[in-house]
Amino acid sequence: MRKITVGFLGCGNIGCGVWKLLHEFEKDLQHRSQVAFEVKKILVRDISKKRDEMIPAHLLTTEPKDVTDDPGIEMIVEFMGGEEPATRYMLRALQMGKTVVTANKMALALNWHLLQEAAQKHNAGLYYEAAVCGAIPIIRTTIDSLQANRIETMMGIINGTTNYILTRMSQEGSAYEDVLRDAQRLGLAEPDPTSDVEGYDAAYKLSILSSLAFHARVPFDVVYRQGISQVDAKDIAFGKELGYTLKLLAIAKREENVIDARVHPTFIPHEHPLSSVNGSFNAVFLHGHACQDMMLFGCGAGSAPTASAVVSDMLYAASRETPRHPTFRNTNALAENLEVTNDWHCSFYVRLSASDRPGVLAHITACLGNEGISIRNLMQRDAVDGHAQIVLITHNAGECAIHKALEAIDPNEAKVESMIRVEGK
């Protein structure tokens, strides 16, 4: 039995979950891996705070160096969240040659180049399965199981809060604000929900996933981002009628050396495997040139599922004699050989409120036609107050073209109420 000494950075919900899993499942873990983890120090902000788990007081410290600098600690597990001071502490631990396991998508997405550089320079392991999609083994799958693939598409529901909100809006026809309030009451959304509902959380994760998928750094700041706070229940209902489900998708595509990476509300056909991923579940759908379609589905958050991923990283690190590093350059810039485009191609759902008089439809279709955009589906609803609702779905078109076409529509004829991208067909 090999003993590995461990230090925690932080001990909130996830940290306590890892403590619990390591202790309750200790015998099984030792039997399976021939490794015994011993937690030696835990950095916390407040030693006297009440915790879910009975953690001996002598393990707690408020001094970061007690964890990062102790030569008697071989492995650091970081649960602090946020960019700093987490990044600084992890860098320090890597410089000391320690293995670092982290669940921190923000620190990783923003400072991966620094962390990876330190890991490689000091021959230390850096593992982050828990940073993306909780228990779902999407990081390890991308690194260990899809290396023989040119991954062309990755589309994920990688934020549970927004998926919970959109699922309930879709099932109940409720308004965004009402469901958000409910989610906050249930602890499924933060008091300040910005990071989730405006897509920051998903964009951090997509930066990590797409970098691994494309073997080239895709920095956070090139990820296009649009959240769900402006989603209108009306569009969810119209989409449903037309055979589509609305999801906040994180999408990364590659064609030759041009990529796009984007987070936005997206309609997908009811038959698409992502369409039935409901509530706070996560899933990543991908297409590789050899593996073809694949999807991984599971719990993207929560104390136990995240602990499952963290401990799997600890065991994975323990099973290797040399650390495993990704192969792309340590830079925070887009890889030299890649170009990122904001002019991606997909279908578009457009809802317009139009004056109910002859010639309006002709005007709209002309504006689209001028940009080479043709219509696949069109639905017109009875006029209320002299204004008809027109809903259309285009054939494949460019992002720039659709914007140009919609701007050309005379606001006296029709008002563009919403535009939602359509993927998956």
User: Which residues form the interface with a second copy (CB under 8 A)?
Assistant: 21, 25, 28-29, 31-34, 129, 135-137, 140-141, 144-150, 215, 271, 273, 276, 281, 288-299, 302, 304-305, 307-309, 311-312, 315-316, 319-322, 324, 327
CA distance 75 to 82: 20
CA distance 239 to 233: 10
Pick 68 or 102: Cβ nearer a second copy: 102
Tokens of 96: 């000391």
Q: Compute the C-alpha angle 106/112/113, nearest 5°.
A: 150
Q: Residue 211 carries which side chain, given as an amino acid letter?
A: S
Pick 146 or 154: Cβ nearer a second copy: 146
- Nearest distance in Å: CB 295, a second copy: 4
Pick 22 or 94: Cβ nearer a second copy: 22
- Nearest distance in Å: CB 382, a second copy: 33
Cβ-proximal residues to 125 (8 Å cutoff; 6+ apart), any chain: 99, 100, 119, 317, 320, 323, 324
Return the active site residues. 205
Q: Is the peptide bond between 85 and the residue preceding it cis, with omega within 30 degrees of 0?
A: yes
- Nearest distance in Å: CB 213, a second copy: 12
Determine the number of helices (DSSP H) and then strands (DSSP E) in the chain.
14, 18
- Nearest distance in Å: CB 285, a second copy: 8
Q: DSSP string spanning 280-303?
A: TEEEEEEEETTTEEEEEEEE-SSH
- Nearest distance in Å: CB 144, a second copy: 6
Pick 167 or 394: Cβ nearer a second copy: 167
* Phi and psi, residue 188, nearest 5°: -90, -10
Pick 227 or 298: Cβ nearer a second copy: 298
Q: Residue 421 carries which side chain, given as an amino acid letter?
A: R
CA distance 313 to 125: 10
Query: Among candidates 54, 58, 103, which has minimal Cα distance to 76?
Result: 103
